[in-house]
Amino acid sequence: MDLRLEVIVLPVADVDRAKQFYKSLRWREDADFVTEDQRVVQMTPPGSPCSVIFGTGVTSATPGSVQGLYLAVHDVDAARAELVEHGTDVSEVFHDAGGVFPHPGTTGRLPGPDPEHRSYASYASFSDPDGNGWVLQELTTRLPGRV
């Protein structure tokens, strides 16, 4: 049985502000449904099979509480530059001191890409207006078994 992650729920304080932010990143607006007690907006990053939803009445989580959302990119420098071009505040490219997976927050961050330019080892990060945290991860060669 296939199990595909297709939707992630983001807690936001201001639905219209969040929608404008993700539109500024050139994410596709899939839906904006309004009922008596809910508003559900679904947006999808370019090239991604997984979308995010946010709105009113969709989660009890605190706005900005979702951290460590990863966006796989082929070239972290180019992806960072494109986000900056669209007005997003993005960290400089970094790699982790441990060389495996970035520690939470900024602990263990070393400036610049991974010195060996290994796949999965160079990053940049940004947050949406509510503080939900995203990480760009450079992925040039997938691990065995991944499509």
4-28 tens-digit pLDDT: 999 999 999 999 999 999 999 999 9
Is residue 129 over pLDDT 90? yes
Are 9 and 56 contacting, i.e. CB atoms less than 8 angstroms apart?
no
Q: So where are the chain's domains? A: 1-60, 67-147
User: What's the whole-number mean pLDDT along residues 119-139?
Assistant: 96
Is residue 115 over pLDDT 80? yes
Instruction: Give pLDDT, residue 128.
Output: 98
Centre a 10 Å sphere on the Cβ of residue 59 and count the other Cβ atoms it contains. 16
46-78 pLDDT, tens per residue? Answer: 999 999 999 999 999 999 999 999 999 999 999
94-106 pLDDT, tens per residue? Answer: 999 887 777 777 7
CATH topology of domain 1-60: 2,3-Dihydroxybiphenyl 1,2-Dioxygenase; domain 1 (3.10.180)
Q: Which of 116, 118, 120, 119 is nearest to 135 (CA)?
A: 120
Is residue 147 over pLDDT 70? no
Centre a 10 Å sphere on the Cβ of residue 60 and count the other Cβ atoms it contains. 6
Q: Which of 17, 21, 60 is nearest to 38 (CA)?
A: 60
